[in-house]
Structure 1
Amino acid sequence: MRDMIPADWSEVERIHAAGIAGGNATFAEAPPSKAEFFASRIPGLSVVATDPQGAVWGWVAATPTSAREVYRGVLEHSVYVDPAAAGHGVGLGLLRELADRAGAAGYWTIQSAIFPENLASLALHDKAGFRRVGRRERIGRMGYGPFEGIWRDTILVELRL
């Protein structure tokens, strides 16, 4: 585990695009630009997991949940694992690293919205100690992929630090 740096972008973007292609990772149709990605993430809370040769196996990053001061300790995260590295504990390691860093930085809650069909992500978050807070029904209409045109639900998960 180490800090994500701009030089990691091509691998981060590739892994992000692989998640998007499956249709169960995000409402976004494509990864953001490198500049947009790094500008919107909380410094110190973007981490990559690498193999012994330095290739990126997965990443986690966090954004503020709200600009309102009352929510200053709440962040939203994304975690993506290279399909070739799935099932090797990469995602769990990334979530634990994020929790450690976020807690040390004074955050008190990590949250995310996960499609109910994304069983692997829900299981990962369960294993990492997140709790399922609720279901948001028909929260957004999918604009691409196998679910194009379909209204999607999300499951809100959170980890209290």
Structure 2
Amino acid sequence: MNLHIRLALLHDAGAIARIYNAGIRSGNATFETRTVTVEERCRWIEQQEEYHPILVAETEGQVVGWASVHPYRERDCYHGVGEFSIYVDESHQGKGIGKQLLQALVEACARRGYWKLVSRIFDFNHASRALCQSCGFREVGVYEKHGKRNGRWVDCVIVERLIEENLD
């Protein structure tokens, strides 16, 4: 499979929304329950800053996954820490796309000066946990009963990866 990873463009908004909405419906990846519109994803892409990239993975002209990073916290001391999200189209999962996309996001963040990436993963989302581990992330803790999804409490595993070349 020929995979091309690049920064998201406005015309990617429909695919990004479709993939994210499938993640919402699955209940495996986010506490969000309200689906997003293409217009909302367009505004998100338009507001993308150089320091906070949104990447898409494309094969045969079709966007099959996306990853993004946003500020971890607003305080200046956390400027080099990013919180990331990654979603792969259901029909393309298990093909290595997530790994290539996450590796590209780490590289893009390294070039921008980040020293750490973090995220939270539902404890039962073993595929995402394995993906992060394969990309050098470590599990550092668990937020117990972090939120409710479909009326039940969900624990979240906290993952982090240091970007060694930016530690001084």
Shared fold, TM over 0.5: yes
Gaps of 5+ in 1: 143-147
CA contact (8 A) 2:116 2:160 kept: yes
- 1:29 aligned partner: 33
Q: How does 1:91-102 map to 2 (within 5 A)?
A: 91-102=98-109
Q: 1:48 aligns with which of 56, 74, 89?
A: 56
- Residue 124 in structure 1 maps to residue 126 in structure 2: no
State the Cα deviation string for residues 33-85 of structure 1 (Å, max 9, x = none).
2255336654352111111x210010101110111000000010100001111
Q: 1:73 aligns with which of 60, 73, 80?
A: 80
- How big is the shift at 1:87? 1.3
SS at match of 2:15: helix
Gaps of 5+ in 2: 164-168
- 1:3 aligned partner: 7
Counterpart AA for 2:160: E
In structure 2, C-alpha distance between the alignment counterparts of 1:42 and 1:77, rounded to whole Å:
14
State the Cα deviation string for residues 127-155 of structure 1 (Å, max 9, x = none).
1110001001011122xxxxx11111100
Count of matched residue positions in the alignment of Structure 1 and Structure 2: 155
- Residue 114 in structure 1 maps to residue 121 in structure 2: yes
Counterpart AA for 1:21: R
- How big is the shift at 1:110? 0.6
In structure 2, C-alpha distance between the alignment counterparts of 1:37 and 1:113, rounded to whole Å:
21
- Residue 160 in structure 1 maps to residue 162 in structure 2: yes
Q: 1:13 aligns with which of 17, 23, 26?
A: 17
**For the aligned residues, what is the CA RMSD?**
1.5
Same amino acid, percent of matched pairs: 37
- How big is the shift at 1:7? 0.7
CA contact (8 A) 2:16 2:41 kept: no
Q: 1:139 aligns with which of 135, 146, 149?
A: 146
SS at match of 1:58: strand
TM-score, reference length from structure 1: 0.90
CA contact (8 A) 1:131 1:159 kept: yes
- 1:145 aligned partner: none
